[in-house]
């Protein structure tokens, strides 16, 4: 098939895991003989591409009409620009006309939607006009929440606020304009949460892990008397890093180290607050290969998120390298980590419980060794070919879907 991938962010422009997953699935489909086109957002007009071949894929990288590009989300100080940005993302007719040109040039048989925020959700109507089947991948809660996370003021939202209700209604109208559309998510928890607010039961749905293939580590783990904990990811309040460091502080008399890998909005605050701690190292943002090497050289990965994480790729990377995980019992994390088998699940935001979990693996090395052996045995579950075939089967199911029943 000729498959168009729509993802506002796409390598080499990477801010998170969604765009890495979009690239990995696209690359796998390309290896199966499909022709791949990609529509993504450019950081600036000078970076625009119009059907250029990159890594064997046809790339349309277009600077979308917005007050600021999606890559500046979270860094914009003028808060009054945000409502304008979102209104354009929902309603601007130039979103549709931009996509229409790409559709006419590439003429896809199928469309994989990975990340519409920044391209415009109303572009689905252009796919509907042409009766192009669509697989809508949900790496987050954007279908139900303007912020993408259903997380606000330090806690998960149990209900939609008025702006999110309005946004969800527009998005519902948009995806209903596509006759053959199916929804999948790497996390069953997030699939069910989106389905709760968007009534997706009339459509094909699936829970499929990301078909990622990560570079192998170029280092080998060496034995250490010190238990080496590591966090890898964005430094954002929803990630719970501040809480993790407080939990580690409570066992300061034990032999451990904690490395914080990544950058983000909270980096400077965390460095100022904890940078002087002798057991804690902040690396800042590092290239993917270095992040993988640092995980491989550690003993335990920590994922202390307090929001509904989807299916963190960093957990899959760690388990695939035999590195057990202490993770928050929230979102899709419990779907990856088997409690007391490949790691520990801990109540999100519970500093005392997290401190106890860290202490347990410092003092009980036999349990840690067991977790490492069990994690290694699960590596085949994350094989790209195995997961890619599940995506291919789901795409076939969408192609043969007769459409949502009339209401």
Minimal CA–CA distance to 116: which of 243, 5, 259, 268? Answer: 5
Q: What is the CATH number of domain 227-382?
A: 3.40.50.2000
Is there a contact between 283 and 257 (Cβ–Cβ < 8 Å)? Answer: no
Structure tokens at 285: 């943002």
At residue 14, the pLDDT reads 80
Topology alike, domains 2-213+384-399 and 227-382? yes
- Cβ count within 10 A of residue 234: 18
Q: What is the pTM of this model?
A: 0.84
Is there a contact between 50 and 98 (Cβ–Cβ < 8 Å)? Answer: no
Domain boundaries, the chain: 2-213+384-399, 227-382
- CATH among 3.40.50.1110, 3.40.50.1820, 1.10.287.130, 3.40.50.2000 for 2-213+384-399: 3.40.50.2000
Phi, psi of 210 (to 5 degrees): -65, 135
DSSP 404: P
Q: Over its length of 407 residues, how does the chain's per-residue pLDDT go in tens digits?
A: 999 999 999 988 887 778 889 999 999 999 999 999 999 999 999 999 999 999 999 999 999 999 888 887 766 556 778 889 999 999 999 999 999 999 999 999 999 999 999 999 999 999 999 999 999 999 989 999 988 888 888 788 889 999 999 999 999 999 999 999 999 999 998 899 999 999 999 999 999 999 988 888 999 889 899 999 999 998 988 899 999 999 999 999 999 999 999 998 899 999 999 989 999 999 999 988 999 999 999 999 999 999 888 888 899 889 989 999 999 999 899 999 999 999 999 999 999 999 999 999 999 999 999 999 999 887 777 889 999 999 999 999 999 998 876 54
| Per-residue pLDDT reduced to its tens digit, 372-388 | 999 988 777 788 999 99
C-alpha distance from residue 74 to each of 11, 69, 253 (Å) = 20, 11, 37
SS3 319: helix
At residue 39, the pLDDT reads 97
At residue 406, the pLDDT reads 52
Query: Under 8 Å CB-to-CB from 99, ≥6 apart: which residues?
Result: 6, 39, 119, 120, 123, 126, 127
């Amino acid at each position: 098939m000729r498959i168009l991938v729509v993802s506002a962010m796409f390598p080499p422009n990477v801010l998170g895991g969604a765009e890495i997953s979009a690239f990995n699935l696209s690359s796998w489909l390309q290896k199966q003989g499909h022709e791949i086109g990609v529509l993504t957002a450019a950081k600036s007009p000078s970076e625009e591409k119009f059907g250029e071949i990159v890594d064997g894929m046809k790339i349309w990288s277009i600077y979308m009409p917005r007050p600021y590009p999606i890559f500046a989300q979270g860094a914009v100080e003028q808060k009054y620009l945000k409502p304008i940005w979102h209104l354009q993302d929902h309603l601007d007719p130039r979103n549709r006309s931009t996509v229409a040109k790409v559709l006419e040039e590439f003429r896809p048989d199928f469309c994989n939607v990975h990340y519409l925020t920044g391209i415009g959700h109303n572009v689905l109507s252009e796919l509907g006009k042409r009766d192009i089947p669509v697989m809508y991948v949900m790496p987050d809660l954007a279908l139900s929440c303007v912020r993408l996370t259903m997380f606000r003021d330090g806690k998960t939202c149990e209900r939609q606020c008025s702006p999110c209700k309005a946004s969800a209604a527009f998005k519902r109208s948009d995806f209903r304009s596509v006759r053959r559309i199916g929804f999948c998510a790497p996390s069953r928890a997030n699939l069910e949460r989106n389905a709760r607010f968007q009534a997706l039961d009339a459509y094909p749905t699936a829970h499929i892990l990301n078909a990622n293939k990560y570079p192998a580590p170029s280092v080998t783990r060496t034995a250490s008397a010190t238990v080496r904990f590591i966090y890898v990811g964005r430094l954002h309040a929803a990630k719970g890093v501040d809480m993790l460091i407080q939990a580690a502080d409570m066992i300061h008399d034990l032999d451990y180290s904690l490395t914080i890998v990544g950058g983000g909005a909270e980096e400077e605050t965390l460095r100022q607050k904890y940078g002087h701690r002798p057991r804690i190292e902040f690396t800042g943002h590092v290239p993917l290969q270095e992040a993988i090497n640092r995980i491989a050289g550690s003993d335990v990965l920590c994922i202390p998120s307090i929001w509904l994480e989807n299916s963190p790729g960093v957990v899959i990377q760690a388990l695939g390298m035999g590195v057990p995980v202490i993770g928050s019992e929230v979102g899709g994390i419990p779907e990856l980590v088997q409690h007391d088998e490949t790691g520990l699940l801990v109540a999100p935001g519970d500093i005392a419980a997290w401190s106890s979990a860290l202490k347990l693996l410092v003092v009980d090395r036999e349990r840690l060794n067991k977790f490492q052996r069990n994690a290694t045995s699960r590596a085949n579950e994350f094989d790209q070919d195995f997961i890619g075939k599940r995506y291919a089967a789901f795409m076939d199911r969408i192609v043969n879907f007769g459409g949502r029943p009339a209401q």
